[in-house]
Amino acid sequence: MKLFDGNILAIESSCDETSAAVITGRTVRSNIVATQIEMHQKWGGVVPEAAARAHIEAILPVIQEALDGAQVTLKEIQAIAVTNRPGLVGALSVGVTAAKALAFSQRIPLIGVHHIEGHILSILGTESEIFFPLVTLVVSGGHSEIVWVNAPGEYKILGETRDDAAGEAFDKGARLMGLGYPGGKAIEEQAKLGNPKRYPLPRALGSDTYEMSFSGLKTAMLRLVEKEGADLCVPDAAASLQAAIVDVLTDRARRAIERENPAGICVVGGVSANQSLRSSIQTLAARYGIPCFVPPFSLCTDNAGMIGLAASVRLALGDTNDFTLDALPMSDLPTLSTKSE
């Protein structure tokens, strides 16, 4: 796999984390994340206008910290990468504007990166040799997709969620149990102490496709919380919710391995930080005799390191953008027109 041989400064500001990183080849030399979680907690979710303002305040100090962390100066940077799609448009614009200004002032290439491509290529942040084609489970707060990765830069979505994303299912369950926002990590912590068989929750496993659905689970959680009231055992409820989500994702991954015959399977995105999900997919991969690639924890939730890794691949393919680069709220992954069978 060809990679850009120079230092890349990468910027990510698509949602509620302001992040900057320095990447050389496959090495993430620094990866600074300033999170806005505390600010959004009081509203129980991300407020777009507040997110954009917080990015404006954080972006320059975060970039400086990333340069210092990698022990490089701006003059030693050979390209600027930035998440320009999809995401909250006001939030994205802060990163895109900073990236353009830096690329212009340094007279170096600029590249806009698709946020999901960043998650997919976050596995390059491991030491492992990566084999293609891959089936990748993209599971975050905004996405639940099964993606065929023919090669870096060549993607085809095999299936996605019909309603809520897996991370949303964790977050909504956590909110119902009073565990705060975002809830994935809190659910995982509680689940360690709980019995996953205590509360039977639905698993939408029936269909023959790669589609997923988590809204039934959310409704079932709501009913459970209402029915049990003060008697609800939070660790058992958290463990039951986590097991239901992990079962659905593992079932779809199994289906994809059986039908698509990939050289490996990956789990990426914020929910891939979940140890129970990682173990379940690793066990599945071992059963089929293929490798399982997961990013290091620091590259699971939103961060600029993964954006730099994707840029390393894209720049080596000859891709760059000019200064008309725009922030786009919605955008499809670069897709394959036909998948090699």
Binding partner of 87, given ligand KG4, Zn ion, none, CB within 5-8 angstroms per partner class: none
Contact 35, 17 (CB under 8 A): yes
Binding partner of 171, given ligand KG4, Zn ion, none, CB within 5-8 angstroms per partner class: ligand KG4
CA-nearest of 154, 83, 153 to 112 is 83
What is the nearest approach in angstroms of Zn ion to the Cβ of residue 310?
12
Those residues whose C-beta lies under 8 Å from the C-beta of residue 304, and which sit 6 or more positions away, are 10, 11, 12, 19, 20, 21, 31, 32, 33, 66, 83
Return the HEC string of 67-116: HHHHCCCHHHCCEEEEEEECCCHHHHHHHHHHHHHHHHHHCCCEEEEEHH
In this complex, which beta carbon is closest to ligand KG4, that of residue 103 or of residue 186? Answer: 186
Binding residues (CB under 6 A) for ligand KG4: these are 15, 140-142, 167, 170-171, 182-185, 188, 269-271, 273-274, 301-302
Buried b (16+ CB within 10 A) or exposed e, 78-94: ebbbbbbbbbbbbbbbb
Provide the sign of the torsion angle of the four alpha carbons 119, 266, 237, 202, taken in this order: positive
The total of other beta-carbon atoms located within 10 Å of residue 157's CB is 16
Binding partner of 90, given Zn ion, ligand KG4, none, CB within 5-8 angstroms per partner class: none
Any long-range contacts for 40-45 (C-beta under 8 Å, 24+ apart)? Answer: 40/16, 40/181, 41/180, 41/181, 44/175, 44/181, 45/181
In this complex, which beta carbon is closest to Zn ion, that of residue 16 or of residue 302? Answer: 302
CA 102 to the chain's CA centroid: 26
In this complex, which beta carbon is closest to ligand KG4, that of residue 7 or of residue 83? Answer: 83
What is the nearest approach in angstroms of Zn ion to the Cβ of residue 269?
6
What is the nearest approach in angstroms of ligand KG4 to the Cβ of residue 183?
5
Binding partner of 301, given Zn ion, ligand KG4, none, CB within 5-8 angstroms per partner class: ligand KG4
In this complex, which beta carbon is closest to Zn ion, that of residue 133 or of residue 182? Answer: 182
Contact 39, 50 (CB under 8 A): yes
What is the nearest approach in angstroms of ligand KG4 to the Cβ of residue 85?
12
Binding residues (CB under 5 A) for Zn ion: these are 140, 302
Binding partner of 185, given ligand KG4, Zn ion, none, CB within 5-8 angstroms per partner class: ligand KG4
Binding partner of 274, given Zn ion, ligand KG4, none, CB within 5-8 angstroms per partner class: ligand KG4
In this complex, which beta carbon is closest to ligand KG4, that of residue 35 or of residue 126? Answer: 35
In this complex, which beta carbon is closest to ligand KG4, that of residue 32 or of residue 102? Answer: 32
In this complex, which beta carbon is closest to ligand KG4, that of residue 133 or of residue 184? Answer: 184
Binding partner of 183, given ligand KG4, Zn ion, none, CB within 5-8 angstroms per partner class: ligand KG4
How far apart are alpha carbons 319 and 234 in whole angstroms?
49
What is the nearest approach in angstroms of ligand KG4 to the Cβ of residue 91?
12
